[in-house]
Amino acid sequence: MTAVDQEYLKVIVFQLADKEYAIPVSNVQGIEKLMHITRVPKTREFVKGVINLRGVVTPLIDLRERFGLPVSNNEETTRIIIITLEEMEVGFIVDSANDVIDIPTDAIEPQPEVVGSNEEDFISGVAKLENRLLILLHLDKVLNP
């Protein structure tokens, strides 16, 4: 093993529909269970509303809707991943939060050229780990319309 000089990226892995996605841990503030959401009128479809996150009003984005995936009913496993990016604090609604793992940086490849789904714009790369395929999200693009 050449593990000594290998660099790793620590990520949070979560599930949306049948795929696994990853966000760098450095961007993640926490993972919360679903709580009461206050709808905010006149916002984009995928903005589900705002929650009270320990006194901070935090907007929520439904990642399924953001990626144009079929809407699922919220279930027991549904989680909110709170992320921060450049002073913005936003929660992502995901099907489930699965894992925290280290990805060797050399396992990350640029996104495949043909993906053919809506989320291709939001992908910064893919990582192949044994038999898992993780999709790395481009947070900037997810947050900016």
Exactly one of 3, 5, 33, 36 binds other proteins (CB under 8 A); that residue is 36
- Backbone dihedral region of 122: left (phi > 0), alpha (psi from -120 to 50 degrees) or beta? alpha
Distance, in Å, from the CA atom of 22 to the CA atom of 19, rounded to the nearest integer, reads 10
The verdict on 115 binding other proteins (CB under 8 A) reads no
Site map for other proteins, 59-98, x if CB under 8 A?
Answer: x---------------------------xxxx--------
Stretch that binds other proteins, among 31-39, 71-79, 115-123, 125-133 (CB under 8 A): 31-39
> Nearer Cβ to other proteins, position 48 or 64?
48
**CA neighbours closer than 13 Å in the CB half-sphere of residue 59:** 14
Question: Rounded to an integer, what distance in angstroms lies between the CA atom of residue 113 and that of residue 67?
Answer: 17
Q: Which of 67, 61, 122 is nearest to 90 (CA)?
A: 61
Task: Tell which one of 7, 33, 41, 131 touches other proteins (CB under 8 A).
Answer: 41
The continuous run of DSSP H or E covering 139 comes out as helix 139-143
Give the one residue of 21, 22, 58, 63 binding other proteins; rule: CB under 8 A.
58
What does the binding site for other proteins look like in residue numbers (CB under 8 A)? 36, 38-43, 47, 49-52, 55-59, 87-90, 143
